[in-house]
Amino acid sequence: MTPRFMRHFSTLCITSFDDSTIQTIFSKIMEWHFTNSSMPSSLSAMSQTIVDASLTMYRIAMKGLLPTPLKSHYTFNVRDFAKVVQGVSNIQSEESVHRVYGSTVAIVIVYYLT
């Protein structure tokens, strides 16, 4: 490739986040969602637990499901972690939880479905 062609591209390198940074970012997002969406305080207290469980599963997947030549799609990043938090954040209110599932266990159900 010529330098004239390469001038249109740039390389950007970002290091991966450590666990405390990921926990801080996503626990604040979950706390904000639970406080602004008329959820009871018992569910708001689960936000840190959901983030911790998601982080544990994310780290296990990163270590155990490494890409191979046959399964090159096994690459995990923070976007996958964010999709879990987004799925749990799609619960609108306690009334919708009771209407759909009949109990507040719905957060656990939604967590496993995402």
Task: Give me the pLDDT at residue 70, please.
Answer: 76
Please write the tens of the pLDDT for every residue from 13-33. 778 888 899 899 988 988 888
Specify if 8 maps to a domain.
no
Determine contact, residues 114/83, Cβ cutoff 8 Å. yes
109 or 19, higher pLDDT = 19
State the Cα–Cα distance between residues 28 and 34, nearest whole angstrom. 10
Q: Helix and strand tally (H, E) in the chain?
A: 7, 0
**Domains contained in the chain, number:** 1
Specify if 4 maps to a domain.
no
Q: Which domain holds residue 50?
A: 17-113
Specify if 55 maps to a domain.
yes
Among residues 79, 63, 62, which one has the least CA distance to residue 25?
A: 79
Please write the tens of the pLDDT for every residue from 90-99. 776 555 555 5
Specify if 12 maps to a domain.
no
CA angle at 26 for the pair 18 and 61, rounded to the nearest 5°: 55
Task: Give me the pLDDT at residue 12, please.
Answer: 80
Specify if 53 maps to a domain.
yes
Please write the tens of the pLDDT for every residue from 47-92. 788 888 888 888 888 888 777 787 777 777 788 888 888 877 777 6
Task: Give me the pLDDT at residue 50, please.
Answer: 82
In DSSP notation, 58-110 reads HHHHHHHS---SS-TT----HHHHHHHHHHHHT---HHHHHHHTSSTTHHHHH
Specify if 56 maps to a domain.
yes
Provide the 8-state DSSP code for 46: T
Specify if 30 maps to a domain.
yes
Task: Give me the pLDDT at residue 95, please.
Answer: 54
Task: Give me the pLDDT at residue 40, please.
Answer: 67
**The whole model's pTM is what?**
0.65
